[in-house]
């Protein structure tokens, strides 16, 4: 029973310094929210903990500076160190990354599932065994294609690929549409966790405690003790202890291994972090392709997958200005030409990183190593991305390489350095995974085939940490399917 005056089925405030709960779920992103909802709906008493605030989906305009300040960790300005600095983003709010991403959805490619199954000895991990979980998540989140036309910037990529005879596709999204919603990418409502599984968890009796950071875990005779800091906006930070019989850690591929390592749990934890390193290009077209309500571009080019893939990114004026940081003399173009501009990206799955907590620092140290082969892949990906944008009619391309000249035609593609220069190339990622992989191979895996930490009772992981590598597609569909599968296994319903 949840004790010490935390209300069941509600958002808690002013908690007692000492709490007790049968099940604690740390992190309310896709993995944590789905886990909390399914356990609560099965009759378990669940305390869902979140470091960030509880904000509605419409608390700010999406993809603005205000959203970055409200819902991103460190305002979106965090970097992995290495020869190439890679900027990465994490959600820090109830709902986690589902609140700030584009809502694009992929199932894990079958060949990737098989690679992970063989490498990590994962049980119950065939495509056929996972399909019911993908299907259930797709139903619960209303994963669907656009009911109308895609944004012009998205179609530019698609038409350029068609001109070259390359494979291009529309990616479905977790959105709902009503007759009143415009039938385009700007219409509809994103089915983030605050719209779906967090309300389901609360309706089933779970308690949500936002603004609560778990500093470390300790094993006790009856379960786990969580040492926490409760710090709502504008209030003085308070220290809490939470005793839980069972704990699910779902803080994401950075925060989960950092917490476990701070707690002395280190076996295969935080040693195998994977990104999708991404290089960007700002393209300028003779005609308007952008608008203030453009919404989310939905087309991706998979002609060269799994080696690399292309897509169109959010292209609001603030994002365009950020993407032109390597071309400071051209920043003024955003103010006058932003309607003719859009951001495109090429991503690979290479490299590997580590997560290490640093004494006296809140955030962990992230190091990420790209091999020479990865920099060659990024160079080739950038060149082919520029080729498809030129085929789409772009008359100026600004690659994210400091000091690189503007590309105006095919002959300029020979100027793209091969490999990309590590000290001048601006790389970023929004996909973080694989820092605590699952499986029965204890030489490589941190947890078993269903998320239980090896060698420890009543401690589970339920987030992107579990993945066996970079899937080459947005990983949140994989995260959600695994969270559902593993929660049902925990409940004895699989």
Residues involved in catalysis: 431
Instruction: Give Cβ neighbours of residue 416 (< 8 Å, ≥ 6 apart).
Output: 379, 382, 383, 386, 399, 401, 404, 407
- The token pair at 341 is 């501009």
CA distance 386 to 1: 59
The CB-side HSE value for 82 (13 A sphere, CA atoms) comes to: 26
Alpha-carbon torsion 302, 305, 307, 311, what sign?
positive
| CA dist list (Å): 394 to 10, 251, 322 | 52, 40, 20
Alpha-carbon span 280 to 313, nearest angstrom: 9
Bridge partner list, 311: 300, 345
CB neighbour list of residue 137: distance below 8 Å, 6 or more residues apart: 34, 143, 477, 480, 481, 484
Cis omega before residue 219 (within 30°)?
no
Q: How many CA atoms lie within 13 A of 146 on its CB side?
A: 21
d(Cα 110, Cα 458) in Å, to the nearest integer? 31
Q: Dump the DSSP string for 29-48.
A: SHHHHHHHHHHHHTT--EEE
């Amino acid at each position: 029973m949840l004790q010490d005056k935390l209300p069941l089925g509600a958002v808690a405030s002013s908690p007692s310094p000492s709490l007790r709960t049968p099940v604690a779920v740390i992190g309310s992103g896709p993995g944590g929210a789905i886990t909390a909802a399914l356990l609560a709906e099965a009759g378990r008493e669940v305390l869902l903990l979140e470091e960030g605030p509880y904000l509605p989906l419409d608390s700010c305009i999406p993809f603005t500076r205000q959203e970055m300040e409200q819902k991103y960790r460190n305002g979106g300005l965090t970097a992995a160190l290495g020869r190439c600095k890679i900027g990465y983003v994490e959600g820090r709010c109830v709902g986690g990354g589902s609140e700030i991403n584009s809502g694009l959805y992929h199932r894990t490619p079958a060949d990737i599932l098989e690679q992970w199954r063989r490498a990590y000895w994962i049980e119950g991990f065939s495509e056929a065994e996972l399909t019911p979980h993908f299907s259930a998540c797709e139903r619960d989140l209303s994963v669907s294609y656009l009911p109308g036309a895609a944004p012009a910037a998205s179609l530019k990529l698609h038409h350029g690929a068609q001109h070259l005879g390359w494979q291009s596709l529309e990616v479905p999204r977790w959105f709902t549409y009503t007759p009143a919603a415009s039938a385009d990418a700007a219409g509809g409502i994103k089915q983030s966790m605050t719209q779906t599984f967090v309300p389901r968890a609360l309706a089933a009796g779970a308690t949500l405690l936002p603004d609560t950071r778990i500093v470390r875990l300790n094993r006790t005779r009856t379960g786990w003790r969580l040492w926490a800091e409760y710090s709502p906006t504008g209030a003085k930070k308070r220290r809490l202890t939470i005793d839980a019989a069972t704990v699910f850690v779902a803080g994401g591929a950075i925060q989960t291994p950092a917490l476990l390592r701070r707690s002395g749990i280190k076996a295969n934890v935080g040693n195998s972090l994977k990104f999708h390193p991404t290089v960007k290009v700002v393209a300028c077209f003779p005609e308007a392709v952008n608008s203030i309500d453009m919404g989310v571009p939905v087309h991706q080019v998979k002609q060269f997958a799994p080696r690399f893939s292309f897509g169109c990114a959010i292209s609001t004026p603030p994002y365009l200005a950020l993407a032109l940081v390597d071309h400071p003399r051209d920043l003024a173009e955003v103010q006058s030409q932003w309607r003719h501009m859009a951001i495109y990206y090429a991503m690979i799955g290479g490299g590997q990183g580590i997560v290490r907590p640093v004494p006296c620092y809140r955030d962990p140290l992230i190091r990420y190593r790209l091999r020479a082969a990865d920099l060659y892949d990024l160079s080739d990906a950038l060149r082919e991305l520029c080729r498809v944008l030129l085929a789409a009619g772009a008359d100026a391309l600004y690659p994210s390489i400091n000091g690189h000249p503007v590309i105006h035609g095919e002959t300029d593609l020979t100027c793209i350095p091969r490999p990309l220069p590590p000290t001048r190339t601006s790389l970023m990622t929004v996909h973080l995974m694989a820092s605590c992989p699952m499986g029965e191979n204890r030489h490589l895996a941190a947890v078993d085939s269903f998320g239980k930490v090896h060698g420890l009772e009543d401690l589970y992981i339920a987030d992107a940490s579990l993945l066996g590598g970079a899937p080459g597609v947005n990983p949140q569909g994989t995260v959600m399917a695994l969270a559902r599968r593993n929660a049902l296994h925990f409940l004895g319903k699989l």
